[in-house]
Amino acid sequence: MRLATWNVNSVRSRIDRVVQFLDRQDIDVLALQETKCRDDQFPFERFDELGYEVAHLGVNQWNGVAIASRVGLSDVELAFPGQPGFDKDAGESLISAPVVESRALGATCGGVRVWSLYVPNGRTLGDPHYAYKLEWLAALRATAGGWLTADPQAKVALVGDWNIAPRDEDVWSMEFFAGKTHVSQPERDAFNAFLDHGFADVMRPFAPGPGVYTYWDYTQLRFPRREGMRIDFILASQALAATVKDANVDREERKGKGASDHAPVIAEFGLPNE
């Protein structure tokens, strides 16, 4: 099974690139983030033409997550249990907040439980969105850890834009990011908690840093200057990680006109396409 995750930064704007990527990389399951559209605006027909089933969660021009699969798609969940919401009007992060954003979508594809995740950005260290980010990650870790406690052999993939660079080598300049989100110790601790509770970053052994990035800001010529961040990950449960054969970043997809500011992350698992 070839599994990919990609913050596409508007699926409608980049659907031609997505279709070409699926064909070029022979992808079985693709998780998308920042689709930036409502369900009724999603280009389902383009995936249908290629033989993919699609689940999408989007309510407006913000956020949005999807999973496209040609190896089956079942048991779709539109949020993980206990997912916090964010009260935009009050500017507060609360478990009971009225708005659970379109940031998490789960489905079973080819025997693997795949979650497409768009972790909150955090904005600044003093912003309520930062507290929301940490709360969101803690809730996901508790829920995902429960899945593995219930079934240690479960094949689970937590994939997407994590908005965290867990190591210094994952950003082009720690001096530039000093005092900013994405590299703060609480964020890194939150990410590492998944590794401590049975998940593995399957790409890093195949694509070690420094200099291996998945995101480059559109401004300041960040991409040609190789000034990026590694913030997109495929975290796999131990039962799934044990089958990984290869993993990499498709840096080519960050090139050219109309590219997303993220590049896809791809992992190949030695699993039958059920």
Q: Which residues contact 37 (CB under 8 A, 6 or more apart)?
A: 10, 11, 12, 58, 61, 64
User: Of 229, 154, 228, which Cα lies nearest the Cα of 198?
Assistant: 154
* Cα-only R_g, the chain: 17
Record the pTM: 0.95
Task: Note the pLDDT tens digit of each residue in 63-115.
Answer: 999 999 999 999 999 999 999 998 766 555 554 556 789 999 999 999 999 99
The answer for residues whose C-beta is within 8 angstroms of residue 127's C-beta and 6 or more apart is: none
Residues 6+ apart with CB under 8 A from 11: 18, 32, 35, 36, 37, 42, 43, 64, 66
* 207 SS3 class: coil
Query: In the Cβ-directed half-sphere of 55, how many Cα atoms lie within 13 Å?
Result: 22
Question: Mean pLDDT, consecutive 10-residue segments, the chain of 274 residues?
Answer: 98 97 98 97 98 95 95 97 82 59 97 98 94 96 97 97 98 97 98 97 96 96 96 98 98 95 98 63
